[in-house]
Chains A and B, each alone.
Chain A
Amino acid sequence: AQSVTQLGSHVSVSEGALVLLRCNYSSSVPPYLFWYVQYPNQGLQLLLKYTSAATLVKGINGFEAEFKKSETSFHLTKPSAHMSDAAEYFCAVSEGSASKIIFGSGTRLSIRP
């Protein structure tokens, strides 16, 4: 069975600081991995996805994530945080053919001025 663990339900960083949101996955088959962002009172927006191509994936808004099979991790990073990055971030995994996505519990990112 697939699962996703997000370490830290709440992360707070200063504006301009590095953003690091941690995600570890479990999958019996090569996974497809996603990061979604949810702004208050809105649906989910795809930030980036890993689909077995390049292990370093670049997404929108300056975010990127690196797939590390040996560590079963897919951490999300951004070099310099902006106030507009404050939101809830979800890591997710899919086996592809199963066509359902399993989400992590989410990490709320706060940005300090």
Chain B
Amino acid sequence: EAGVTQSPTHLIKTRGQQATLRCSPISGHTSVYWYQQALGLGLQFLLWYDEGEERNRGNFPPRFSGRQFPNYSSELNVNALELEDSALYLCASSPLGQGSYNEQFFGPGTRLTVL
């Protein structure tokens, strides 16, 4: 069974540009989560999508946005990039939308560098 995949592996942008990160969940999983792992800040929850809808959002500005497609894959968009957006962005998927526990399976991440 294929795991969570993310693309690209690395992404280099300059300040002010836009970045688009992509995630494909495990087959059969309907929920996709995005986390930011920035140096010194740990792992922070960004966004949760389930069945095409945004279900929850972490404490990030509106320039962080995303969407989930009918095939449950997801995009994370970061507009007006700032230097502090440089981080590893992890995507996770889960077979459960709500209720019970949600074991999340993580992808390898996209390393975003903002120059």
B18 interface residue, CB < 8 Å from A?
no
Whether the pair A44, B106 counts as a contact (CB closer than 8 A) is yes
Whether the pair A99, B106 counts as a contact (CB closer than 8 A) is no
Whether the pair B100, A96 counts as a contact (CB closer than 8 A) is yes
Bin the interface of chain B by size. Answer: 20 to 34
Q: B104 contacts which of A42, A51, A101 (Cβ < 8 Å)?
A: A101
Residues of B within 8 A of A96 (CB): 99-102
A63 interface residue, CB < 8 Å from B?
no
Residues of B within 8 A of A34 (CB): 103
Show 30 residue pairs from A and B whose CB-CB distance is below 8 angstroms, ordered by the A residue. Answer: A32-B101, A32-B102, A34-B103, A43-B106, A43-B109, A44-B43, A44-B92, A45-B106, A49-B101, A51-B100, A90-B43, A94-B101, A94-B102, A96-B99, A96-B100, A96-B101, A99-B31, A99-B98, A100-B45, A100-B48, A100-B58, A101-B33, A101-B45, A101-B102, A102-B45, A103-B42, A103-B44, A104-B42, A106-B42, A106-B43
Q: What residues make up the interface of A, taking CB atoms closer than 8 Å to B?
A: 32, 34, 36, 42-46, 49, 51, 90, 94, 96-106
